[in-house]
Amino acid sequence: MSLSVKNITKKYGDKLVVDDLNFEMSEPGVYALLGTNGAGKTTSIRIILGMLAKNSGEVLWQGKPLDVVNTNVGYLAEERGLYPKYSLMDQLMYFAKLRSVDKHTALDRIKYWSNRLGVDEYIFPKKGKSRKASKPNQADQLSKGNQQKIQLMVALLSDPELLIIDEPFSGLDPLNTDLFKSIIREEISKSKYLIMSSHQMPTIEEFCSDITILDRGKVKLQGNLSTIKKSYGRVNLLVKCEQDIAPYIASLNLQIVNKTPSEYHLRVEGEDQAMAFLSKLIGDNITVIKFELREPSLHEIFVEKVGVVQDEK
Amino acid sequence: MKSNITGWKDVYSFTLKQVLKTKAYRISYIILVLVVLLSMPIAAKLLFNNAENENGPSPITKVYVNNMTQFTDVSFEDIKSIDSFKHIDFEPMNKDYNEVVGQITEDERHSIILNISEENGAYSLHLSMIKDGPLKKSQLQRLGDVLLSSFTNSRMESIGVSDEQLTLLQTPVVSKITMTDINGEEILDEDTSISLSEYMFVYGILFFVMMTTVLMGTQVATSIVTEKSTRVVEYLLITVKPLALMIGKVFAMLTATIIQMLSMVAALVISNKISANYSSGNGSLLSQVLPSDLFANINIMNLLLCIVLVFLGLLFYAVLAGLAGATVSRLEELNEGLMLFTIVSMVGIYIGLGAANTLMSSGTNTYIMFAFLFPLSSPFILPGAILVGKASLLLVGIAIVLQLAFIVILFRFVAGVYETLILHNGNTIKIKELLKIARRQ
């Protein structure tokens, strides 16, 4: 199985909102679409899902044009969509039915996921003396986080082969973020295809092997995350010492990326320059608390790519 | 493999179930049924309580005749042949006028005074009753009409006109205008107009279909906008095609509205039966209003034709409302979006209303034929016309075919633009833009 997105272009009038987007998932895993607000992530996802017409390009699933209605696709939209006044159970059963999940299986899955996400009290509310549900059982009575959990349930009810999640962690507290992460890991372990859009870089680094960075509809960087990082080399040096090391930095003409009261973030040309700097510090009896030479983080790459482009503009 | 309409049944059953479960639907349902149920008995009570039973005895017991004219041979004894008035005593006023008034006010509250006067050869009959007494003006009016007739007869007799001559004099003169052909033969001009009561019946059906159309159209549009504004539609569209979504929704709303309307019809029938108990023996309220020969045209075939016509009409307007609902993104903009639906339905309703009026005033003509066949107006006017026997089977058949053709055209148009509209988020799409989208598709 594979997913191929080929030469997708979308225009609104004269405005190009997605410009020649290409990527491929030849094996299960998580593909990340990154970008600032308005970069074209959600538009790209809607085009992949066939909700928006494209000006050119194609989306192939198993070598054939992707027909979401006839493929087991799960979708978690950035903007949550639930009927505000209908019972949650009715809605979940409805979405399951539309996905051709039989009633018995749907009920089992609803029980499993509601228990897993800690929302079973809203989906299976106990009736009070007044015959009314003792807990809220409609979407508009739930918090944003709980609505998001119900929405994730909707996406997972059909046990989809392809799961598309748009900003899955926005508005979640740390505990629920961890809960969502564990569920995503579980889905990855089931060899599923996931497309995730986010602007939370650490999260992307945690899950995704391949990325595309979009900026105003254009692809700014694309490929395997490890390869991209390796291509930058280990040029980020984090140094923390007891004494002031500013003169040493100046003498070696090192570039300061960031400086905090206790730590320097430096840009070096390579490992040799870093080792020379360390030898000098040790030779002068400077107490080194931290000396870390690493590849750039995704956040740094993102800021560099998108920031540079925006500066140029 | 799911087709363009696969899944519409799931959308239909879910939407219908949820609509029937909503408080708004249930409350409006109960209120409407209760209003209809109570309307006839209340109307009958108001109408018949005030109106005296024409066959029942008049509450007037005595008439003091104050004859101030030279004509002394006045006798009202002949009205005793009428059952309602046979108990009434006529007594010449021999006492002082004020004394009689006092007597009536104190003891004889069901008595009245008849003043007969003459001025320049013209006679005047003036009936007086006490203020705030038990008698009503309408009861005096009824007696007054009979007294006038009796008085006229007395006068005629006094001048020597016999009963036969009087009958001859009172026979109305009828005038008639006809057209003749070249041979002088009369060209028969069939009267195709309807009576007032038939008009009221046709108008009632038109009003009923109009209410149903507006109610259902608004519900369809609201439902679609709600799904758009809550973004549910994005989740739905990865499981069903837009057309299936719309068909399911339209039919669900159609069913919900038909349930409501059929319940109202049932309540109307029950209400009408109850109204008979409040009509002082005049029968049910509708039997007073409906054309007496109405039932001659009510048969299975006619009823089926009416149901088909109304159903097709509702389907057409529901699809139009669905389209209107999809052109807006927020509930607040719904009125703006419904403009197209409102204009089109108003055109249909007004053509229908005009046709009903024309049918009463001048009978069948070209305009009526147009209104019967025009798909926008036929669902409103034709059912009523069928039931009063003013539409032939052939005409109804053509109207149904035209209606179907109109629905197919609308459906094809909607199928072309709906996918774009349903995901549109922003300003309301105007008709011009709608046509552009259709052309692009």
Residue of A nearest to B229 (CA): A81
Residue of B nearest to A163 (CA): B238
Q: Quick check: is A300 in a domain?
A: no
Yes or no: say if A305 and A215 are a contact pair by the CB < 8 Å rule.
yes
Give the count of domains, chain A.
2
CA A76 vs. chain centroid, Å, equals 12
Does residue A242 surpass a pLDDT of 70?
yes
CATH topology of domain B62-162: D-Maltodextrin-Binding Protein; domain 2 (3.40.190)
Interface check A154 vs B, CB under 8 A: yes
Q: What is the largest CA-CA distance in chain A?
A: 80
Residue A132, pLDDT score: 61
Yes or no: say if B423 and A52 are a contact pair by the CB < 8 Å rule.
yes
Yes or no: say if A120 and B268 are a contact pair by the CB < 8 Å rule.
no
Residue of A nearest to B422 (CA): A51
Report the range of poorest mean pLDDT among A90-104, A273-287, B127-141, B362-376.
Answer: B127-141
Q: Which residues of B touch A95 (CB under 8 A)?
A: 235, 239
Between CA A91 and CA B256 the distance in angstroms is 19
Residue B424, pLDDT score: 77
Residue B299, pLDDT score: 84
Q: Which residues of B touch A77 (CB under 8 A)?
A: 231, 234-235
Between CA B153 and CA B74 the distance in angstroms is 9
Q: Which residues of B touch A154 (CB under 8 A)?
A: 235
Residue A311, pLDDT score: 45
Between CA A136 and CA A133 the distance in angstroms is 7
Does residue A35 surpass a pLDDT of 50?
yes
The secondary structure element, H or E, covering residue A19 is strand A15-25
Yes or no: say if A149 and A119 are a contact pair by the CB < 8 Å rule.
yes
**More confidently predicted of B75 and B396:** B396
C-alpha distances (whole Å) from B191 to each of A145, B184, B195, B249, B361 are 73, 21, 11, 46, 11
**More confidently predicted of B108 and B3:** B108
Q: Can you list the alpha helix ranges (DSSP code H) found in A162-313?
A: 174-189, 201-207, 225-232, 246-251, 271-283, 298-312
Q: Which residues of B touch A53 (CB under 8 A)?
A: 420
| Residue B366 to chain A, least CA–CA distance (Å) | 48
Looking at the fold, whether A145 and A243 belong to one and the same domain comes out as no
Percent with pLDDT over 70 in chain B: 95
Between CA A26 and CA A3 the distance in angstroms is 6
Q: Can you list the alpha helix ranges (DSSP code H) found in A139-192?
A: 144-156, 174-189
Cα first-last separation, chain A: 40
Q: Quick check: is A54 in a domain?
A: yes
Q: Could you say which of A79, A85, A98 has the minimum Cβ distance to residue B239?
A: A98
Does residue A142 surpass a pLDDT of 50?
yes
Of B359, B355, B352, B357, whose CA–CA distance to B191 is shortest? B359
Looking at the fold, whether A88 and A223 belong to one and the same domain comes out as yes
Instruction: Identify the three-state secondary structure at position B305.
Output: helix
Q: Quick check: is A310 in a domain?
A: no
Percent with pLDDT over 90 in chain A: 57
Looking at the fold, whether A174 and A277 belong to one and the same domain comes out as no
Q: Cα-flanking dihedrals φ and ψ of residue A215, to 5°? A: -140, 115
Of B41, B342, B401, whose CA–CA distance to B221 is shortest? B342
Of B306, B297, B298, whose CA–CA distance to B400 is shortest? B306
- Average pLDDT value over all residues in chain B: 87
Across the interface, do B233 and A81 touch by the CB < 8 Å criterion?
yes
Does residue B8 surpass a pLDDT of 60?
yes
Q: Which residues of B touch A79 (CB under 8 A)?
A: 231, 234
Looking at the fold, whether A213 and A248 belong to one and the same domain comes out as no
Between CA A290 and CA A241 the distance in angstroms is 7
Residue of B nearest to A84 (CA): B230
- Side-by-side strand order, sheet with A288-294: A255-259, A264-267, A236-241, A288-294
Give the mean model confidence (pLDDT) for residues B278-303.
Answer: 76
Domain span holding position A253:
234-294
Cα dihedral A13→A15→A20→A24 (10° resolution): -90
**Exposed, middle or buried: residue B7 (CB in 10 Å: 0-12, 13-18, 19+)?**
buried
Q: Which residues of A touch B238 (CB under 8 A)?
A: 49-51, 68-69, 73, 75
Looking at the fold, whether A194 and A266 belong to one and the same domain comes out as no
Yes or no: say if A116 and A156 are a contact pair by the CB < 8 Å rule.
no
Counting one residue from chain A and one from chain B, the pairs whose CB atoms sit within 8 A come to 66
Q: Could you say which of B2, B10, B235 has the minimum Cβ distance to residue A154?
A: B235
Which of A229, A251, A267 marks a domain boundary? A229
Across the interface, do A82 and B232 touch by the CB < 8 Å criterion?
yes
Looking at the fold, whether A189 and A241 belong to one and the same domain comes out as no
Here the CATH number for the domain that contains residue A286 is 3.30.70.1150
Q: Hey, which of A175-184, B134-143, B360-369 has the most confident mean pLDDT?
A: A175-184
Between CA B30 and CA B57 the distance in angstroms is 42
pLDDT tens digits for B427-437?
A: 888 878 888 87
Looking at the fold, whether A212 and A261 belong to one and the same domain comes out as no
Residue A1, pLDDT score: 65
Q: Quick check: is A81 in a domain?
A: yes
Q: Quick check: is A52 in a domain?
A: yes
Give the mean model confidence (pLDDT) for residues B363-388.
Answer: 93
Residue B382, pLDDT score: 95
Q: Quick check: is A306 in a domain?
A: no
Across the interface, do B14 and A53 touch by the CB < 8 Å criterion?
no
Q: Which residues of B touch A86 (CB under 8 A)?
A: 18, 21
Indicate the pTM of the whole model. Answer: 0.75
**More confidently predicted of B81 and B51:** B81
Give the mean model confidence (pLDDT) for residues B280-309.
Answer: 79
Looking at the fold, whether A212 and A238 belong to one and the same domain comes out as no
Q: Could you say which of A69, A83, A154 has the minimum Cβ distance to residue B230?
A: A83
Report the range of poorest mean pLDDT among A28-42, B70-84, B340-354.
Answer: B70-84
Give the mean model confidence (pLDDT) for residues B207-217.
Answer: 91
Instruction: Identify the three-state secondary structure at position B367.
Output: helix
Yes or no: say if A65 and A47 are a contact pair by the CB < 8 Å rule.
no
Q: Which residues of A touch B423 (CB under 8 A)?
A: 46, 51-52
The secondary structure element, H or E, covering residue B393 is helix B393-422
pLDDT tens digits for B377-387?
A: 999 999 999 98
Does residue B101 surpass a pLDDT of 80?
yes
Residue of A nearest to B228 (CA): A81
pLDDT tens digits for A50-78?
A: 888 889 999 999 999 999 888 999 999 88
Does residue B293 surpass a pLDDT of 80?
no
Looking at the fold, whether A176 and A272 belong to one and the same domain comes out as no
Give the mean model confidence (pLDDT) for residues A180-207.
Answer: 90
Residue A13, pLDDT score: 80
Instruction: Identify the three-state secondary structure at position B368.
Output: helix
pLDDT tens digits for B322-335?
A: 888 888 888 888 88
Q: Could you say which of B22, B231, B423 has the minimum Cβ distance to residue A81?
A: B231
**More confidently predicted of B433 and B64:** B64
Looking at the fold, whether A284 and A150 belong to one and the same domain comes out as no
Q: What is the largest CA-CA distance in chain B?
A: 103
Residue B291, pLDDT score: 63
Contacts of A108 (CB under 8 A, 6+ apart): none
pLDDT tens digits for B19-55?
A: 999 888 999 999 999 999 999 888 888 877 665 556 6
Give the mean model confidence (pLDDT) for residues B118-131.
Answer: 88
Does residue A310 surpass a pLDDT of 80?
no
**More confidently predicted of A112 and A35:** A112
Q: Name the band, by pLDDT with cuts 50, 70 and 90, for residue A160.
A: very high
C-alpha count within 13 angstroms, C-beta hemisphere, residue B180:
5
Q: Which residues of B touch A68 (CB under 8 A)?
A: 237-238
Looking at the fold, whether A35 and A167 belong to one and the same domain comes out as yes
Interface check A13 vs B, CB under 8 A: no
Between CA B34 and CA B52 the distance in angstroms is 28
| Residue B230 to chain A, least CA–CA distance (Å) | 5
Interface check A82 vs B, CB under 8 A: yes
Report the range of poorest mean pLDDT among A304-308, B197-201, B255-259.
Answer: A304-308
Does residue A313 surpass a pLDDT of 50?
no
Question: b/e string for B395-406 if b means 16 or more Cβ within 10 A?
Answer: bbeebbebbeeb
Looking at the fold, whether A222 and A260 belong to one and the same domain comes out as no
Does residue A308 surpass a pLDDT of 60?
no
Residues of B in CB contact (< 8 Å) with A are 1-2, 6-7, 10-11, 14, 17-18, 21-22, 226-227, 230-241, 420, 423
Give the mean model confidence (pLDDT) for residues B124-141.
Answer: 88
User: What are the domain boundaries of chain B?
Assistant: 8-47+194-440, 62-162
**More confidently predicted of B278 and A84:** A84
| Residue A65 to chain B, least CA–CA distance (Å) | 14
